Every structure is written in C-alpha cells, then in structure tokens.
Amino acid sequence: MTTICVDAMGGDRPSEVVLEGIAQALAADVELEVLVAGNSEVVEPFCAQHERARALLTTEVIGMEEHPADAVRSKKDSSIVRGCAAVRAGEADGFFSAGSTGAIFAAATLGIGRIRGIKRPCIASSVPGTSGRRTVFCDMGANADVRPEMIVQFARMGRAYSRVTLGVDDPKVALLSNGSEETKGSEAVVELHGVLAEAAASEGWFVGNAEGTDILAGNFDVIVTDGFTGNVAVKTLEGTSKFIMGELKKAVNASPKAALGSLLLKSSLKEIAAGLSGDAYGGAMLLGVKSPVIIGHGATSAEAVKNATLVCASAVRGELVNKIALDVAGA
C-alpha cells in the first residue's frame, strides 16, 4: 500500500471537487490509500464511505492570499501544516494540496525537511511540446534568486524527475536564456551557463541555452532557470493560452460560422488547454524535500486531483527522492 495525504481544504474550488478526485484515484489504484486532511464535516462522511480513505482531522485552513511563512507558523492545525507533519511522521508517503504554493513550499521545507545536501527545493513541472516530447521545467517560482550551486542542483533534480515520471534514460538539460549562443544572457545567466557546463563536463548532460520558444517545442528534456524567470515564463504561457481561448470565444459570439467551428473543435481546444494547465500531471512537483509533494492549481478539477494523487503515488514507488539523493550525493 502507498499512502498519499491529500489536502481536502486547498484551492479555490469547493472541497467536493477534491473529494471527487480522491474517490477517482482510489478507484483507479487499488494499492492506494489516502489520508484525507481537513475539517471533520468535510472529511469524516467521505472516509466513512470509502474503504481506503482515512481521516486526518484539522481545524484550520490557510487561505490563498495569506502570507505563506506567517500562515504556516501561526496555523499549526491547518490541513497543509498537519499534512506535512503526517508525512514526516511516516503516516503518509507523499502529500498533495491545491492550496497556496508559498504555504505548501514553506510547510514542506520545514515540516518534511530537505534531502541531505539540497540547498533549496525547487518547483518543477513537465509541459507538453510540439515535437511530442515533454519538457521538465524548473524552477517555476520557489527561488527568485539562485546562486550557481543551486542551479546545478535544480538541473540534477530535474533530471531525476524526468527519469522517474517520463522514463527518459539520460535526460539532457538546457539553461533558459535570451539566445542560444553561450555568450547570451544577463551577466548572472552567463555565469550559470559556465557553472552548468563545468558541473556536467564529465557526464555530458548539459547541452547549452534554450529560449522561450523552446519551452513548448519539446526540444529539450529539462530546461532550468531561476524562480523569477521561471514564474514569469509559466505565467506568460498561461496568459497566452487564456488570451487565445478568450479571443476564440469573442469570435464565436460575433459569428455563427465561428460558433459552429468552435463547437466542432471544442474537444480539441479543451484538450489543448488542459494539457497546458498541467492537469494531466496534476500539478507541479516540489523537488528536494524528503517525500514527494505535489502542488496543484488553485482552480483545480476532480481530474487534476485524481492525476496528482496517482502521480504522487508513482513518484513514491519510483523512488524519486532516493534518486535525487543519490544524484546529489554523487555530485
């Protein structure tokens, strides 16, 4: 049995959406047990009805807009803090929440703890690519400033993530920059390029710079960047997808011909938007802590919760944390 703790209170959607996702995950994986964290009125009726669901009763909820570190410090009985504590105590093997990214990051770093040798955890996700290959992208926002030794660890963690979740044998890593030549970049990024080239010299996994156009092209296994640039890139991607879908909706309202076209393309458009939202993989993975932690979209869906829970369980079974620990120790 693999036990994943799922936060029933996290995100902007009602708890029913999360519970529905948990039910789907339990149905899909008979080796899965879920520790459901949340208020008793939400959690208890659900656990009474589902065999492999156990309740972790909590009384507080950390809101999406609260200051992460303050909230984690003051709300000791919140579903996020208690969920991470349950993982640390061995009551669960991994944690999933669609709550505040900052709060989950803080609670997991403090509560579950970093893997020995890891300077700072980072946030990674795999995005689809035109070529058909998925690309692991990190850091998506946890560390606005990175020191050179951190980017090398992000690269190694991204490689481990690519191996375990995508099955890539020897993932190649590129550094996000403003041009493909190695001389391109801000002063800081040119320095990171040198540090990555040196770290990977004998192992051959660093292949140079990637550009913004590469993120969804499927040209690289892993693209690393600092959390500031990563956050801007991911939110630009999200904003562009929203813009295009919004403009299509406007076109539909303006013309019956476009309306019919859109109706016929509906499932394709939905699929593309879902692929970009990361729902197929349930969210972003926090890499560098001692157990797999997945951070979902605030605006999550039952499907995303199901996938996140299953991906979290498969990261446990694939020994993602051990692989990261070995990679970092071997460095």
Binding flag, residue 282, a copy of itself (CB under 8 A)? no
d(CA 264, CA 272): 14
Calculate helix-pair angle for 302-317, 320-329, nearest 10 degrees. 50
Q: Are 168 and 256 in contact (CB under 8 A)?
A: no
Backbone angles phi, psi at 123, to 5 degrees: -110, 130
Residue 11, helix vs strand vs coil: coil
Binding flag, residue 272, a copy of itself (CB under 8 A)? yes
Binding flag, residue 298, a copy of itself (CB under 8 A)? no
Tell the smallest beta-carbon distance from residue 258 to a copy of itself (Å). 5
Binding flag, residue 263, a copy of itself (CB under 8 A)? yes
Tell the smallest beta-carbon distance from residue 151 to a copy of itself (Å). 14
Binding flag, residue 253, a copy of itself (CB under 8 A)? no
Q: Which two tokens stand for residue 277?
A: 């939202």
Q: Which two tokens stand for residue 304?
A: 């995303």
Nearest to 142 by CA among 249, 43, 227: 227
Tell the smallest beta-carbon distance from residue 109 to a copy of itself (Å). 18
Among residues 40, 59, 186, 253, the one that binds a copy of itself under rule CB under 8 A = 186
User: Where are the strands (E) in the chain, listed by range?
Assistant: 2-7, 32-38, 53-57, 94-97, 122-127, 135-138, 173-176, 206-210, 222-224, 284-287, 293-295
Among residues 41, 51, 169, 187, the one that binds a copy of itself under rule CB under 8 A = 187
Binding flag, residue 257, a copy of itself (CB under 8 A)? yes
Nearest to 301 by CA among 268, 278, 269: 278
Q: Which two tokens stand for residue 281?
A: 């993989």
Binding flag, residue 241, a copy of itself (CB under 8 A)? yes
Tell the smallest beta-carbon distance from residue 110 to a copy of itself (Å). 20
**Calculated CA dihedral for residues 152, 143, 161, 55, nearest 10 degrees:** 150
According to DSSP, residue 115 is labeled P
Among residues 128, 148, 208, 298, the one that binds a copy of itself under rule CB under 8 A = 128
Binding flag, residue 221, a copy of itself (CB under 8 A)? no
Binding flag, residue 69, a copy of itself (CB under 8 A)? no
Among residues 57, 166, 197, 248, the one that binds a copy of itself under rule CB under 8 A = 248
Q: Which is nearer to a copy of itself, 73 or 257 (CB)?
A: 257
Q: Which is nearer to a copy of itself, 29 or 226 (CB)?
A: 226
Q: Are 221 and 127 in contact (CB under 8 A)?
A: no
Tell the smallest beta-carbon distance from residue 13 to a copy of itself (Å). 19
Nearest to 165 by CA among 5, 319, 329, 6: 319
What amino acid occupies position 133?
A: R
Binding flag, residue 237, a copy of itself (CB under 8 A)? yes
Binding flag, residue 182, a copy of itself (CB under 8 A)? no
Tell the smallest beta-carbon distance from residue 155 to a copy of itself (Å). 18
Among residues 35, 106, 107, 234, the one that binds a copy of itself under rule CB under 8 A = 234
Burial profile 248-261: b = 16 or more Cβ within 10 angstroms, e = fewer: eeeebeeeeeeeee
Binding flag, residue 262, a copy of itself (CB under 8 A)? yes
Q: How many residues bind a copy of itself (CB under 8 A)?
A: 61
Residues in touch with a copy of itself (CB under 8 A): 128-130, 141, 144-145, 176-179, 184-187, 189, 211-217, 225-229, 231-244, 246-248, 251, 255, 257-258, 260-266, 268-269, 271-272, 275-276
